[in-house]
Amino acid sequence: MSISRHTCFASALLSLTVSCKTPANQNPAALQKDQSSAFASEAQSEQDSQNGEQGLALFGRPGGRSPFNWYKRDTSGERSARVTGRTPPPPRPILPPNKPPVRTPPQCHDDEEAQPLRCAKLPAVSATDIIDQKAAIRLGKALFWDMQVGSDGQTSCATCHYQAGADARTINTLHPGPDGVFQSNGVTAAGQNFRLSSIINDDRVGSQGVVNAEFLSIPSNIYEAKDNCNLKAEAPFGTQRAVTGRNTPTVIGAIYNVENFWDGRAHTKFNGFDPFGDTANAAQKTVLSTNASLASQAVGPVNNSVEMACAGRAFNGPNSVAAKLISRPVLQYQLVSRTDSALGSMSAFPGKGLRCGRNNCTYQELINTAFSRDIANDAVNNFSRIWGQAVMAYEATLIPDDTPMDRYLLGQNRALTPNQQRGLNIFNGKAHCYECHSGPELSDSSYTYLFREGPLNDDGADQGFHNLGVRPTEEDLGRAYTGPGGVSFARSNSIYNRGAFKTPMLRNIKLTAPYFHNGGKATLEEVVDFYARGGDFANPELTSKLEKFSLGAQEKAQLVDFLRHGLTDCRVEKQRAPFDHPSLPLPNGPLLRETGAQGLGFCP
């Protein structure tokens, strides 16, 4: 696949202008032209893109029918943070550790076949305001799970990521797609129960957030969690909770993604304010840290008017989510196990929340312990910067590296059953799964793959993003969408970015149905059938990596057995450390009870 098997990029990733390989369907002259403009989209001025906010409404080519501007609605509020207060100091650079390098396991190699996750290459974040990493993990876990964050006083980040890092609710989880009409499996309106099944139209399975409303103010009483908002009932959700237009991806293992979100808009450069790095889409074109897409991703949903907030809520300064949380008791409505792997030592159990000495902990106290004095002393004006780094610190601990496949590839020959071993061989061979689900992370959207193969894929588009023919390209442009500054998220100018989505990692796929960016396939059997027939739509931008194949019934069962059981980390399924968590009542879902380090049961 590659003409070069060495690492040809510095760790300050995606300042790249060259590729290590020639895409299969491009001649050298075309490649040189594409390389020279591979990141031209970041250099375009906002004046060059007259569409501005209109770019968010596009379904594809001009003239397309767009009765429901779902994408603009879906990303509204992600650019909510602004500089407030005094100018904060720059973050501290990360110095290389003064210790011997970690030995590479002998099972690691430079080929594309599946490998143990410990073989993954993960560059360090370049700079940080954190002074105590364990304290930052505690803060990040509390922020991620705290239901006080949402404008409704019920929605946390974890609300949409509670099931193996994804969402398994069924009531009010259907989005009607661009045509604005609910028409799948008996669902005819918002708020109804969608019995999980494959979708054959433009509907999508998403995650419900908050009711559409306009933000007025934060509650004056720190023991009240609901913001003061004006309800704005709008089609297609009316007074029901709005639903996202894409299926919720897992946060477990997301630290290995070069860029996060399905369209990769969470930039590898964290600017401290929004997901857009130093591109023209960003409100503040600064760079605090590189290799920090999870921090960029973390600041997006907090004030998104579909996911967590009433429209118009700010991140920093007065009357903001910062002002709301700073002085609040941490997790004051939720139970924390005394054996929680990060929070247990501070648990107030059988009471709720955390204890700092004899009193309930506040977020300001947790921030003071985790962050530098200059940042912590002005936390209300630096809150988006704090939030992104703390949540990234927590999510970076969610490493699912103890699957049966990982154990098998590390030498435990009985970790996979004979049936699953045959499934692994089919994965790495006849079914061509490894073409995109490659290497230690089982994804070509990873740092390992980027280091080895370069920033362009075989079609000349952005590495790790592919149009698979799940739905017609015009319904969702994916990587080719433009952000609030009118600039595309794509770094190259290839047509193959249109309708392309990030290749997900596959560990714990048993637990994260439904599948694909639209949630359109309900079972792994249906996913295998989809790939075997070469996709469902012959889009002009269809990736060249999609190759039809044929499996017998036994071979298909073996492949599915490997995917369903061979890739499941028992700690994730049993909610054991580090995947334990506080309690969380889920809107239109169950009460998720708190778990400690031992989770819900034994793991072999």
User: How are the residues of the chain apportioned to helix, strand and coil, as percentages rounded to the nearest 5?
Assistant: 25, 10, 60
> Global pTM?
0.89
Question: What distance in Å separates the CA atoms of residue 277 and residue 288, rounded to the nearest whole number?
Answer: 9
Question: What distance in Å separates the CA atoms of residue 361 and residue 345, rounded to the nearest whole number?
Answer: 12
Of 173, 179, 202, 172, nearest to 68 (Cα)? Answer: 179
Domain 129-164+250-397, second-level architecture: Orthogonal Bundle (1.10)
Question: What distance in Å separates the CA atoms of residue 502 and residue 529, rounded to the nearest whole number?
Answer: 20
The amino acid present at 549, given as its one-letter code, is F
Of 70, 53, 100, nearest to 179 (Cα)? Answer: 70
For residues 271 and 286, the answer to whether their CB atoms sit within 8 Å is yes
Question: What distance in Å separates the CA atoms of residue 505 and residue 442, rounded to the nearest whole number?
Answer: 5
Rounded to the nearest 5°, which phi and psi values hold at 93? -65, 150
Question: What distance in Å separates the CA atoms of residue 323 and residue 189, rounded to the nearest whole number?
Answer: 37
Residue 101: the pLDDT is 52
Report DSSP state, residue 510: G
Question: What distance in Å separates the CA atoms of residue 321 and residue 481, rounded to the nearest whole number?
Answer: 28
Question: What distance in Å separates the CA atoms of residue 288 and residue 219, rounded to the nearest whole number?
Answer: 31
Q: How many CA atoms lie within 13 A of 366 on its CB side?
A: 33
3-state secondary structure of 234: strand
Residue 118: other Cβ atoms inside 10 A: 17
Burial class, 593, CB count within 10 angstroms (exposed 0-12 / middle 13-18 / buried 19+): middle
For residues 463 and 453, the answer to whether their CB atoms sit within 8 Å is yes
Parts of the chain with a pLDDT under 70: 1-68, 95-104
Question: What distance in Å separates the CA atoms of residue 148 and residue 321, rounded to the nearest whole number?
Answer: 10
